[in-house]
Amino acid sequence: MPTLPDSRPREQRSLFGEILDWMLAPLLLLWPMSVVLTWLVAQGIANKPFDRELGEMVRVLSKEVSVRGEPGRARAQFKLPAAAAEILRTDEADDIYYQVLGLRGEFLSGDAALPVPADEDRAPPGEVRFRDETLNNESVRVAYLWVNVQDRPPDPDAATPATGEAPLVQVAETLGKRSRLATEIIKGVILPQFVILPLAVLLVWLALARGIAPLNELQQRIRRRDSNDLSPIDERQAPEEVSPLVRAINDLLARLDQSLRSQKHFLADAAHQLKTPLAGLRTQAELAQRQIDAGQTDPQALKKTLQQIARSSQSAAHMVNQLLAMARAENQQQAPQRQVVNLARLATETVHDFVPRALEKRIDLGYEGPGDLAAARHPQGPQVLGHALLLRELIRNLVDNALQYTPAGGTVTVRVIDDPFGQVVVLQVEDSGPGIALAERELVFQPFYRSLGTEVDGSGLGLAIVREIAMQHGAEIAITDASTRTPPGTLITVRLQASSATPADEEAAPTVSFESGGGSSRSTSGSPAPGRA
């Protein structure tokens, strides 16, 4: 069973809390580790002086060990002096045990229960070593050495032990003093930390609060701004770490300000452009009303007035349609999902829609499609990836613009060229009008701009819509002269990225034939039509 996505709103994170967590969590984690390490260090510190004292006891006792007897039958002897016995009994805090073993491990004196060192703990004669043991269910610290009788001054009564034989002397002490000293060290180190740790947490809290204060001030400055104030925020009043964010906000404010200015300018121009047809409608309607009120019922005059009203309403409707098309082209968020589009089909259908208008203006309107090789390579026609509705609007505006500026008796050709390498599909609209001056070829793409010296009625939005749609499709658009004759005419070329995908519901571009003006023009998916018959 598929799992449904979690629709719960994501919990908002606190920057202050997150930084505080990342600072305090390691601190609280390291504090127990510090306690353990301090305890281990305190144990080492506490052992050192008592180990030295224990080692001195072992050396003192080892001096009382002697070897007597004939060679080969030597025996170790030990006699505890009264002074040494007094030393062993003077410690009131801990119990002290000793043990002396002979050359062959035989017990000579002391506590027989004291364990003997393991073989791996055996040291060279004369070297004091330490180990931890348990005696009578109590932990003890043991210092031990094997007596080196070979290095002692000559004694006429002393015997030479066999090789590898040496007496063993051990002194053990309970750990009372050591534990108390280690505890005192721990208290001296850990107790101040119980005071320092809360103080450190408080200081971290205050430091974070002070560090984030400039962010709160920046927030308050932005909140106090007027809704119409889109001026940039002063970066110098923000912390250095926040400067990239402030620059990003300033960039957004600049783009928003430019967008609002463009919208205001567009609305002002649109309102100004709509005034003319609406004023014409009102004037013609008032004129017709005065004629009726005056009893002037001349059918021809009334017909002329109604025709003017129709032209004005048609101009207003055309203006509104182009404004809607411009808004639709600019609204990328509401644009439909891109799909594979047959550009040749769109071009032929658009040309067919403009045939009545071309007949009315006595303009020869035609279409030239891909050749046989292209049709064999792309049976479905030249394919592009885009929005069919917007691409149709692009072609309509190009054809409409060409028909507006082409005089009666001229020609307008819509041409779709398939790239032999399958990279691009070229759309061209060519007319025999007056052409566009080189200095104006960028200006004509601005909304409401119309070339100077022309008396053609128009809104100045057609090419602006074309450029907006072309930009959304990543297409290149260029304006050149159509020919070297006079007038030169205009050739507008749009290069769109070709698509290798083939839609399953598309059919081959149909053959369309129609007549325009005094001759016939044809559109075919076969060989290109070089002219008109």
Backbone φ, ψ for residue 138 (5° rounding): -135, 135
The pLDDT tens digits for 135-193 are 888 899 999 999 887 655 555 555 555 556 788 999 998 888 888 888 887 777 777 77
Rounded to an integer, what distance in angstroms lies between the CA atom of residue 529 and that of residue 521?
9
Look at the alpha carbons of 225, 226, 227, 229 in this order and tell me if their dihedral is positive or negative.
negative
pLDDT of 497 reads 87
Alpha-helix residue ranges (DSSP H) falling in 69-175: 82-89
| Residue 517: per-residue pLDDT | 39
For domain 240-329, give its CATH number from 1.10.287.110, 3.40.50.720, 3.20.10.10, 1.10.287.130: 1.10.287.130
- Nearest of 215, 327, 316 to residue 274 by alpha carbon: 316
Distances (CA, A) of 258 to 7, 251, 262, 333, 469: 36, 11, 6, 19, 20
- How confident is the model over 494-526, as pLDDT tens digits? 998 887 665 444 443 333 434 443 333 343 333
Q: Give the mean pLDDT of the chain.
A: 76
Q: For position 531, what pLDDT does the model report?
A: 35
Alpha helices, DSSP H only, in 408-529? 462-472
Which ranges in the chain are annotated with CATH 3.30.450?
A: 17-181
Section 294-300 average pLDDT: 69
Average pLDDT over residues 220-243: 80
Q: What stretch(es) of the chain map to CATH 3.30.565.10?
A: 335-523
Chain Cα centroid distance, residue 149: 79
Question: How many C-beta neighbours within 10 Å does residue 464 have?
Answer: 23
Does position 431 have pLDDT exceeding 70, yes or no?
Answer: yes
Residue (of 390, 473, 474, 488) closest to 430 by Cα position = 488
pLDDT greater at residue 301 or residue 78: 78
**pLDDT of 169:** 92
Q: Which amino acid is it at 426?
A: V
Candidate ranges 193-202, 303-312, 457-466; pick with highest mean pLDDT: 193-202
Topology of domain 335-523 in CATH is Heat Shock Protein 90 (3.30.565)
* Domain(s) of CATH 1.10.287.130: residues in the chain: 240-329
pLDDT at 414 over 90: yes
pLDDT tens digits for range 342-359:
888 889 988 998 898 899
User: If pLDDT is split at 50, 70 and 90, which confidence band does 533 have?
Assistant: very low
Give the strand order in the sheet containing 168-174: 107-110, 96-101, 168-174, 138-146, 129-135
pLDDT of residue 91: 66
pLDDT exceeds cutoff 70 at 216: yes
According to the per-residue pLDDT averaged within each range, which of 109-118, 238-247, 324-333 is highest?
109-118
pLDDT interval class at 447 (50, 70, 90): confident
The pLDDT of residue 70 is 67
Helix (H, G, I), strand (E, B) or coil at 526: coil
**Burial 192-219, CB ≥16 within 10 A → b, else e:** eeeeeeeeeeeeeeeebeeeeeebeebe
What average pLDDT does range 297-315 have in this prediction? 71
Residue type at 88? L
CATH class of 17-181: alpha beta
Q: Which residue has the tokens 């080189």?
A: 438
Asked which of 28-32, 331-335, 427-431 is least confident by mean pLDDT, the reply is 331-335
The reported pLDDT for the residue numbered 268 is: 66
What share of the chain in percent tops pLDDT 70?
71
- For residue 466, the model assigns a pLDDT of 85
Name the residue with higher pLDDT: 345 or 93: 345
DSSP string, 267-293: HHHHHHHHHHHHHHHHHHHHHHHHHHH
Residue 530 pLDDT > 50, yes or no? Answer: no
pLDDT band at 529 (very low <50, low <70, confident <90, very high): very low
Q: Kindly state the helix (H) or strand (E) to which residue 489 belongs, with its residue range.
A: none
